């Protein structure tokens, strides 16, 4: 799995890059990729989502862009202070998308444990949760059994921006962040831990 880091990149550019990386994997030019980045504030609508779940496009004095996404899931938020981990992974032998999502969740659960946050799964939906609040959202797409998109971990985003949407179809807005839980970690601190767990879980 090759590692690609971007300080911050617009969401459409990140989607375009993933399409190129998927093609490389399909053609046998690479085994897989882990892309780590952040996005400027935006709402993304997954294949199960609706424009109706975008309640406000302006929060405070900020206008938040809205993009339709090919990933699964409904509407979510991306922005500074959130580490986005895109995993381009070849499932042509395994062909188990549920297992892939489990690995994405497990990558974050194991990472958070090293920062003294006990996270887990919830019957409310896919993702990583802490005491009934979602700390990481997951949405994936699969083309010819090569996966892309991935997981967004809330380190210290502006949680007020989540009020502009029905987050992942949940009107009660059950979101949290590492900062809100009292953990003052940085992206630089998290990245090597996530990379280590990603390599262990997604080893070819």
Sign of CA dihedral 156, 161, 165, 170: positive
Report the C-alpha gap between 84 and 10 in whole angstroms: 12
Q: How far is CA 59 from the centre of its chain?
A: 22
Task: Calculate the CA 73 to chain-centre distance.
Answer: 11
Strands 133-143 and 125-130: antiparallel
Helix (H, G, I), strand (E, B) or coil at 159: helix
Q: Which residues are catalytic?
A: 168
Strand partners, 4: 35
């Amino acid at each position: 799995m090759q590692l690609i880091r971007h300080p911050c990149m617009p969401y459409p550019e990140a989607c375009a890059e993933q399409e190129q990386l998927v093609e490389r994997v399909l053609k046998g030019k690479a085994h897989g990729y882990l892309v780590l980045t952040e996005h400027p504030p935006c709402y993304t609508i997954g294949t199960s989502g609706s424009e109706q779940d975008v309640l406000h496009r302006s929060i405070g004095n900020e206008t938040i862009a809205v993009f339709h996404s090919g990933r699964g899931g409904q509407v979510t938020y991306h922005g500074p202070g959130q580490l986005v981990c895109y995993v381009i992974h070849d499932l042509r032998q395994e062909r188990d998308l549920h297992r892939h999502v489990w690995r994405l969740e497990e990558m974050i659960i194991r990472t958070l444990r090293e920062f003294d946050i006990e996270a887990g799964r919830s019957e409310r939906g896919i993702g990583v949760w802490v005491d009934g609040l979602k700390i990481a959202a997951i949405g994936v797409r699969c083309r010819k059994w090569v996966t892309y998109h991935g997981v967004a971990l809330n380190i210290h985003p502006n949680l007020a921006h989540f009020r502009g949407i029905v987050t992942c179809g949940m009107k009660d807005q059950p979101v949290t962040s590492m900062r809100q839980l009292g953990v003052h970690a940085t992206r630089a601190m998290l990245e090597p831990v996530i990379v280590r767990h990603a390599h262990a879980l997604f080893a070819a």
